[in-house]
A and B are shown apart, each in its own frame.
Chain A
Amino acid sequence: MMNWRRHFIEAATLIVAAVLCAAVSNAIAGRERKMLWSGTYPNAMTVPAPATATPSSGGQAPTPVPAPVVAAPVTTTTTTTPTQTGEAPILHGTTTTTTTTAPPKHAESQQLFPPHPDKPYIEIQYDAVKQLYDKGVLFLDARRTSVYEQGHIAGARPFSVWESDIDEKVNKLFEERGDPKQQAEPIVIYCSGGDCEDSHMLAQKLWGIQYNNVYVYKDGFPDWQKHGAPIHTGSAP
């Protein structure tokens, strides 16, 4: 009887010591290693659908790509917008001779990729991703920062869902783009493709704070590399 009591006290002491070590280790950990004691993972107990037999890099998964809506030309009497960088407006099926002004790039991308408030994200493939990239929309890299620094889509910001500063980054983004109009602008999130879910988790987080036009690049960074699209290394976007 006495033995069991001692046994229990020893086991409890080991566990308490382990928790203390964990607390100290986490307190002194760097930004990349540090974690919040309680995370928010909405689908933590939901088993994902069985993976299809696609290889982790490059396979074309049959995911819905939003049907591009043809941008209607804006016909006004004004001349040019100062932010325009010389790209001619896309005019389809019109013979109007009035002076036309191209909508700002973001507005244009919003017409092509309209908000979808009913779902947190839409999975898209390279062609749609590149189209959005060319329009200059915001790209977020959901992979670990150490991986991001080894190479990322040029211009993408590091937003690892597993690191302690994720909420801080999301809040900062909200401060930058808190206006409902800005929240409806497309955002592309990616991770490593294959069965990587970090981008989906980040999309869920953004959807939770009213970002309703988020796209997940299904095949992720390996696919971007495969297509030879622009890449940056280092900690700067």
Chain B
Amino acid sequence: MTHPWLTIRVQIALGIFFVAAALPKIADPPSFAHMVYNYRIVPGALINFMALTMPWIELLSGLALILGIWKGAARTIIAAMLLVFITAITVNLMRNNVIDCGCFDVSAANKTHEERLADMHWVVIRDLGMLLMCAQGWWASRRTATP
């Protein structure tokens, strides 16, 4: 599980996920701000700031992982963001506030309540999977650091 062959591929895959997630948000910040608003957990004054900066954090962290620069720091940031996303979606599932996650697409999808609900469950599972990918990287780096 900590073989360099696997670690590099997991790292690049995670990087690609985050770069792909960042680009539509960077292309259309107002739509992403709308998505952030829909979560109903961010104070109004911070919504625009989050919508403007978060995609760039995703992009730079993703690029760092792909290029193998500052991997540890990039993985930590990505793991922290994944924890925030999982918490945000879970809180909204508990509040029965059914929303589009806005993860890879910021245009308002014309989905039914049930479709959105199913998507939200799927997003939590997907984010947990990506969190495991981060954990694999940490584990591998610790194994290589300790002889």
Contacts and interface: CB of A to CB of B under 8 A. Distances in A.
A228 interface: no
Contact of B47 (A17, A29, A39, A46): A39
Contacts of B33: 35, 39, 162
Contacts, number: 112
A198 B31 CA distance: 12
Contacts of B85: none
Interface in B30-71: 30-31, 33-34, 37, 40-49, 51-53, 55-57, 59-61, 64, 70
A62 interface: no
B29 A47 contact: no
A14 B78 CA distance: 11
| B interface SS class | helix
Interface residues of B, number: 44
A22 interface: yes
B74 to A, nearest CB: 7
A56 B42 contact: no
Interface in B72-112: 72-74, 76-77, 95-98, 108, 110, 112
B52 A162 contact: no
Interface string A150-190: 00000000001011000000000000000000000000000
A198 B34 CA distance: 9
A41 B38 CA distance: 11
Nearest to B28: A33
Contact of B57 (A14, A40, A50): A14
B56 A21 contact: yes
A35 B52 contact: yes
B60 A18 contact: yes
Contacts of A198: 34
A51 B48 contact: no
A39 B44 contact: yes
B124 interface: no
B26 A25 contact: yes
A38 interface: yes
Interface string A22-50: 11011001001101111111111111101
A3 to B, nearest CB: 8
Contact of B76 (A7, A18, A26): A7
A53 interface: yes
A160 B53 contact: no
A10 B70 contact: yes
Interface of A: 3, 7-8, 10-11, 13-15, 17-19, 21-23, 25-26, 29, 32-33, 35-48, 50-51, 53, 55-56, 144, 160, 162-163, 192, 196, 198
20 contacts: A8-B73, A10-B70, A11-B73, A11-B76, A15-B77, A18-B59, A35-B30, A35-B51, A37-B52, A38-B46, A39-B47, A40-B45, A43-B44, A46-B40, A48-B97, A50-B96, A51-B98, A144-B30, A162-B34, A192-B108
Q: Which 7 A-B pairs have the closest CB atoms?
A: A10-B73, A44-B44, A41-B44, A162-B30, A18-B56, A11-B73, A18-B57
Given A21-B59, A35-B48, 11 more contacts: A7-B72, A7-B76, A21-B60, A35-B52, A39-B47, A39-B48, A40-B45, A44-B44, A45-B41, A56-B110, A160-B30
